[in-house]
Structure 1
Amino acid sequence: MKIVSRYIREFKYCLIALIVVAGMSSCKKDYLNVEEYIYDQLNVDSIFKDADRVRQYVNGIAAYLPHEDRLFTESWAPFQLASDENFASWNDNRHAGMKFLLNEITPFTANTYFNNYGTWYKGISKANLVIARLDECKELSTIQKREYLGEMAFLKGYFMYLLIQQYGPAVIPPDGIPDLLADGESLSRERSSYDDCVEYIITNMETASQLLPDKKEVQTDLYRPTSGAALAVMSRVLLTAASPMYNGNQSYADWKRSDGTNFISQTKDNVKWGKAAAAAKRVISTNRYELFTFPKSADTEPLAPEVPTANYPNGAGDIDPYRSYKYTFIGESQPSNNPEIIWCTSVQPLTGDSPLWLSTLSLSGGGNGLNVTQEMVDSYRMKDGRDVNNSSVAFPYPTGAARYANYGTTRSYSDVQLVANTPRMYINREPRFYATIGFNHSYFKGTSYTGSEGTWRNYEVTYYSNGKGAPNANQPNDYNHTGYTAIKYNHHADNIRNGAGVVPKVFPMFRYAEVLLNYAEALNELDGSYTDPATSITVSRDLSEITNAINRVRYRAGLPGLTAQESASRESIRDAIKLERKIEFAFEGRRYHDLRRWLDAPIAYNTTITGMNVKVPDSQKDRFYTRTAIASPLTRRQWYFKMYFYPIPKNALDKNSKLVQNPSW
């Protein structure tokens, strides 16, 4: 580092103390360059004299947002691999979420893995700078300034949301530009309470919702936030704040600020559920969004008799449930024409950090290392909505030897291909099962590959010890451990072997299905009614409203609506919502957070990981299709109280004397 003047040196130290930027940035970025930040601050005069430079600067702030599509490999956070849904076949730096799952992270190693702390504070500080000086740019129109101010408010709120999502209660930095003459100790700040952080997010998102446009007219701006995105963030954040983790959680009774304020409120406040319900209702009331549906076609799978045949949203009679669910994730539906997508990001599908790579067999150019648990697979229902453990005569879930008996025929519908060797335990499952789960004897099309090597496309995926997914001598660890993978993001034409043979995709960070289930959950937990003072929206625990929100999701998936048994009580509805979220948002990074906010994580993570017995050949199908505890260092997950939060990196603690670590770290 070059020698700097005493003034610059003092400025640097104060700045670090204020925004705690000495952490590493998101996974692939180098250690934060403080001199570069100082350069930014000392050269702002040139930025705000030119409209192009303002846009470049604003885009640079947005670049601090994480790559939320990177769920498994080279991921920005541990949220997906450290979920109970799955695990990777390697515990290495490229799949570092496994290290959190297996209790190998410490505050010291948090300096290296998923260290987003300083990056997001830097984003907030730069957004504050734009807000303070934007009026100096005379080249910008009033409309342009309004949109930039909306984006800055959105980014401030979103960076704070990311901070509390990963680290819990955070330091709330002051608005405006730092005082360069202040001493470092006076610029050090305590963490605020979780509720205060939520208020900071809501305040900024409220501003963003008023300043940002309803939609982006220019194709290149599709990934920029809109007013609806701000409202969707508010819905998610307020639902989380109302949940048991943050609403009267006595486990954190002794965790307090220096002034005695609890970091997490110790008083249960049912009004928080009202605020969450009103926030979701606000998104619904915009009438801008709807679940994506694809019209019923000649090859659409017939519905079970229990599913209403009225047109959607009163039934599923006019839609193709499989395509309606699948197409949002595989590139068949463009975000500009998909009313379900509220905010999304582009995906780089040909890189090794895409979900496609991890779920694809080595034979077709993939990593073959994404393992889905049997417990997750069993969560998917039969096509008539019945649980696999309580199936019907019409659509039975087989037991004994019948579970691995061959289907005996081939059948194609929508984009699904069932082969004669398909085990009967995978027949007559709900459409989201086939859209999401890759199983033994499932069919890999990979039709974009047109070369002479025919074994790279149109084959049955088998996970026997002598199957196509078995390890080879050159890659002994590249194999599936459970007999299941996640194919949610795999297009039927995708083939990594063909250089350009992967369909471009987007990843929806916020989609309307979440808003509907947020609304149902918040209403179900609400006592009485609540009226939002800002919008005058009134909500109450109305069973018809709850049922309608859940059934829209179920009908889109080709399933029956809530049964009388499911809607009988608050507890039964709660269980139904939890299961619906588990299936609807499978492998989207949401389950990790749901388990924590519900306080269900200790039970989920202390469940033995099981799958099919991939250690046996195809000649021993009875043993392969026996639920087997997976004995591997990769499955020795542990749950400790500290794991509700990710640890604050040690180097961030060293730079702020008032910053305290998360409990039990």
Structure 2
Amino acid sequence: MKKNKLILIALLILAGLSSCTDYLEVSSESKYGEDYVFGSKDEINRSLNSVYASLMSSDTYGDAYMNAFALNSDVEFTPFSSEIRNVGGADFKCFDGTQNGSAISKAWTAAYTGIERANIFIKGVEKSNLYLQGDTIIRAQLAEAKVLRAMFYHDLVVLCGDIPFSFTPSYDLGDKLVIPITDRNEILTTLINDLKSAAPLLNYARENTDGIERVSREFCYAMISRMALTRGGYSLYPDDTNPLSQGTMKRPDDYKDYYEIAKVYADSVISSSTHHLNKSFRDVFVDECNYIVDNDDDPIFEIPFLKNGSGSVGYQHGPSGSTLDGISTDINVWGGSAGGIRLNAFYRYDFDRSDLRLNQTVGMWYYNYDGTPVVRNDYSVHANKWSKFWTSPGNSLGASSNGNTGINYPYMRYADVLLMYAEAVNELEDGVSGANGTKAIAALKEVRNRAFKAEDRAAKVDNYIATASASKESFFKAICDERKFEFGGENMRWKDLVRWNLYSEVVYKCFMRYYAMGCASGGDNSVEGTEEFDNFPFQMFYKIVANPNNPDIYPNTTLKIIDFYNPYAFSYSPGSDYSVADFYKWYNEGLSCPNNQCRFSFRGFIQADEYGVFTPQMDRNNLPPVRYILPIPNSAIQKSNGVYKNYYGYN
């Protein structure tokens, strides 16, 4: 069933409520008072749907978590052309935002609004007669709210580290509205234990009326596994004695206990046999663009955005699309599209050329207002898993539309669970030759199988995994690579790199790759790394042709397409009917150095001046941590009367 109708009701209810302007203030829902209990199933349903509705905020999952906080890496990437920090404090993607940035302030408030609604719901239900009488539906709904609360808290911990934490509704706090900052490990341990007790109360997705648009037992298991890997992985810790220090990357001494939890609960999802990877990789995302929901395939939990009401999936993703006076014209019935979520320009060259995920993930064109495609040959390319343009003409939002696509976002996928399981086993058993090794190999193989045609699987899957299974290190590298290519455009890469303590290494390599490319495009081959570009396609040959109307290859079957000739390697023109698109020359002739985008796109970690001097000077064998942690917003610090303060050099 596409879109839970009760979500719409909840949104209408919420439209009449003033949400909390800061999490430290009592929200309007708290007017119920401490003695309020739910007297009917209708009241409980309405309140639970207000918690679900909190997921749809553009300040969290509706946009910001996929866009504003898609931090730069070797997968997601936004170029920066200025060496000066944005006065609004919004440069989080290049690790140079501030506590005054509006994006973090809005996200903080929206997340704690969702947490407050969940706390109120849980407290009210636990006091209700329906719950005390053991009503299974009500108990399942209580568990749903706990999982949603865990989502909000977990993702805040990933973004901000140690944060205020409480399961108590604000109306029960009395005059203690300044909730103490809690260590991230304590938060995650508490959440994991909370969901362990909640899981048995939940239905499997196939038993839910709204399927994967509702929290299920599988999603609860998967969420435990994700939080356990976060808890067991590396993260950036502050220097409590020096707020100006960027901190230290560490992982807890008991990390293996949490890898064990991750393994057990990922295995619980796998063993349930309720989700599969039967659909092609392409169809998972194109079906979502066409409002098709499958309850037993890759998506385990989809955030159910409302068509024309919420969500930027397919508007920020996919090729950008211009409009003329706010309207797309001719056969282009899809309206405007921002296409703001971009991928690293070099990401596509890292794929195996026969990987089916490549062409569905990477887009090298955008559309003019009349639907004419234009080559995108720039510092970044489009993230093409979702797009308004993949929606069939009959389902399109119209020529004057922009955002609020209503395309669901698969917050948790079965492919993620399979790879989490493989990662946990490899870490715990020092490779995949132990008791659970066969199942870990099968998990990786299931994900990789879908990525290649049947005729390629002997070499690209069987032989590849046999080689990767030789050691713990090689299997770990295979998992790292598989996640890199599986989740492009889903804003997961930097989080994985943090957990593995590889973020600094990868960001440094990314910077050097852009810098070396800038030098090479200006004819300067003296910089280390320029040799990579000896066979690089500095020109791309293409022609615009009629749409072949083959939905298995081109999701949009109406607009003309760009036929690229050998786009991933150096080549000569295949003929006069092809046009040529030069890479933007990434070199500033006037300054005799690479362009700003090559020098400042990782500005908060490393940058270069026009003389080729890097700031800071770095030893690649002893790199400092990336300051990925986001600050506590200044508004929250002020209202805490100084109880909260920032570290990591934000002060």
TM-score (norm. length: structure 2): 0.67
- State the Cα distance separating 1:166 from its structure 2 match: 1.4
Aligned counterpart, 2:304: 346
- SS in structure 1 at match of 2:268: helix
Aligned counterpart, 2:422: 520
- State the Cα distance separating 1:265 from its structure 2 match: 5.5
546, 549, 554: which one aligns with 2:448: 554
Aligned counterpart, 1:284: 270
Change (3 A) 1:614 1:178: farther
Q: Say whether the 8 Å CA contact 2:232–2:256 is kept in structure 1.
A: yes
1:652 and 2:611 matched: no
Q: Any residues of structure 2 matched to 1:438-587 within 5 Å, and which?
A: 438-439=363-364, 456-457=370-371, 460-463=373-376, 481-482=378-379, 484-490=381-387, 491=390, 493=392, 498=399, 505-527=407-429, 540=434, 542-558=436-452, 559=457, 560-561=460-461, 562-587=464-489
Q: Any residues of structure 2 matched to 1:611-622 within 5 Å, and which?
A: none
- SS in structure 2 at match of 1:57: helix
- SS in structure 2 at match of 1:288: coil
Amino acid at match of 1:154: V
1:272 and 2:264 matched: no
Change (3 A) 1:455 1:139: closer
Aligned counterpart, 1:334: 293
- State the Cα distance separating 1:269 from its structure 2 match: 3.9
- Alpha-carbon displacement from aligned partner over 1:250-273 (angstroms, at most 9, x marks no partner): x7676799xxxx996553643332
- SS in structure 2 at match of 1:433: helix
- State the Cα distance separating 1:588 from its structure 2 match: 0.8
1:602 and 2:504 matched: yes
Aligned counterpart, 1:380: 351
Q: Say whether the 8 Å CA contact 1:72–1:80 is kept in structure 2.
A: no
Q: Say whether the 8 Å CA contact 1:242–1:272 is kept in structure 2.
A: yes
- State the Cα distance separating 1:115 from its structure 2 match: 3.5
Amino acid at match of 2:120: L
Q: For 2:277 and 2:429, locate their aligned partners in 1 and report how far apart those are by CA, in whole Å.
A: 28
Q: For 1:191 and 1:120, locate their aligned partners in 2 and report how far apart those are by CA, in whole Å.
A: 16
Aligned counterpart, 1:131: 122
- Give the length in aligned residue pairs: 515
Aligned counterpart, 1:160: 153
Q: For 2:161 and 2:486, locate their aligned partners in 1 and report how far apart those are by CA, in whole Å.
A: 26
1:105 and 2:104 matched: no
User: RMSD across aligned C-alpha pairs, in angstroms?
Assistant: 4.5
Q: For 1:122 and 1:80, locate their aligned partners in 2 and report how far apart those are by CA, in whole Å.
A: 22
- State the Cα distance separating 1:510 from its structure 2 match: 0.3
Aligned counterpart, 1:146: 139
Amino acid at match of 1:515: V
Change (3 A) 1:339 1:125: same
Instruction: Report which stretch shifted further, 581-590 or 595-604.
Output: 595-604
Change (3 A) 1:85 1:594: same
Amino acid at match of 1:661: N
- SS in structure 1 at match of 2:213: coil
- State the Cα distance separating 1:168 from its structure 2 match: 1.0
Amino acid at match of 1:547: I
- Alpha-carbon displacement from aligned partner over 1:365-396 (angstroms, at most 9, x marks no partner): 3335554323211121122xxxxxxxxxxxxx
Amino acid at match of 1:462: V
Amino acid at match of 1:590: M
Instruction: Report which stretch shifted further, 547-556 or 499-508.
Output: 499-508
- Alpha-carbon displacement from aligned partner over 1:334-391 (angstroms, at most 9, x marks no partner): 233x4221100134576893434552332663335554323211121122xxxxxxxx
- SS in structure 2 at match of 1:48: coil
Amino acid at match of 1:335: D
- State the Cα distance separating 1:573 from its structure 2 match: 1.3
1:591 and 2:493 matched: yes
Aligned counterpart, 2:610: none
1:664 and 2:649 matched: yes
Change (3 A) 1:505 1:224: same
Q: For 1:70 and 1:180, locate their aligned partners in 2 and report how far apart those are by CA, in whole Å.
A: 25
- SS in structure 1 at match of 2:410: strand
Q: Say whether the 8 Å CA contact 1:372–1:486 is kept in structure 2.
A: yes
Q: For 2:150 and 2:63, locate their aligned partners in 1 and report how far apart those are by CA, in whole Å.
A: 27
Q: For 1:152 and 1:166, locate their aligned partners in 2 and report how far apart those are by CA, in whole Å.
A: 21
Aligned counterpart, 1:436: 361
Aligned counterpart, 2:609: none
Q: Any residues of structure 2 matched to 1:233-312 within 5 Å, and which?
A: 233-245=223-235, 267=253, 269-293=255-279
Q: For 2:120 and 2:108, locate their aligned partners in 1 and report how far apart those are by CA, in whole Å.
A: 19
- Alpha-carbon displacement from aligned partner over 1:97-123 (angstroms, at most 9, x marks no partner): 9711234411232x5535433443444
Change (3 A) 1:204 1:484: same
Instruction: Report which stretch shifted further, 555-564 or 262-271.
Output: 262-271
- The gaps in structure 1 that reach 5 residues or longer are 1-27, 294-320, 384-429, 445-453, 465-480, 531-538
- SS in structure 1 at match of 2:166: coil
- Alpha-carbon displacement from aligned partner over 1:174-204 (angstroms, at most 9, x marks no partner): 54775565x54xx645433322111111122
Aligned counterpart, 2:595: 631
Q: Any residues of structure 2 matched to 1:161-176 within 5 Å, and which?
A: 161-173=154-166, 175=168
Q: For 1:497 and 1:202, locate their aligned partners in 2 and report how far apart those are by CA, in whole Å.
A: 44
Instruction: Report which stretch shifted further, 221-230 or 361-370.
Output: 361-370
Q: Any residues of structure 2 matched to 1:15-30 within 5 Å, and which?
A: none
Aligned counterpart, 1:305: none
Q: For 1:462 and 1:120, locate their aligned partners in 2 and report how far apart those are by CA, in whole Å.
A: 38
Amino acid at match of 2:205: K
Task: Work out the percentage of aligned pairs sharing the same amino acid.
Answer: 21
Change (3 A) 1:168 1:81: closer
Q: For 1:83 and 1:98, locate their aligned partners in 2 and report how far apart those are by CA, in whole Å.
A: 17
Q: For 1:97 and 1:595, locate their aligned partners in 2 and report how far apart those are by CA, in whole Å.
A: 24
- Alpha-carbon displacement from aligned partner over 1:4-54 (angstroms, at most 9, x marks no partner): xxxxxxxxxxxxxxxxxxxxxxxx978349877266334576662344333
- SS in structure 2 at match of 1:362: coil
Change (3 A) 1:658 1:327: same
Change (3 A) 1:369 1:120: closer
- Alpha-carbon displacement from aligned partner over 1:596-639 (angstroms, at most 9, x marks no partner): 11222223223233697699999997882599577245952234
Change (3 A) 1:139 1:543: closer
Q: For 2:186 and 2:418, locate their aligned partners in 1 and report how far apart those are by CA, in whole Å.
A: 26
Aligned counterpart, 1:360: 320
- SS in structure 1 at match of 2:278: coil
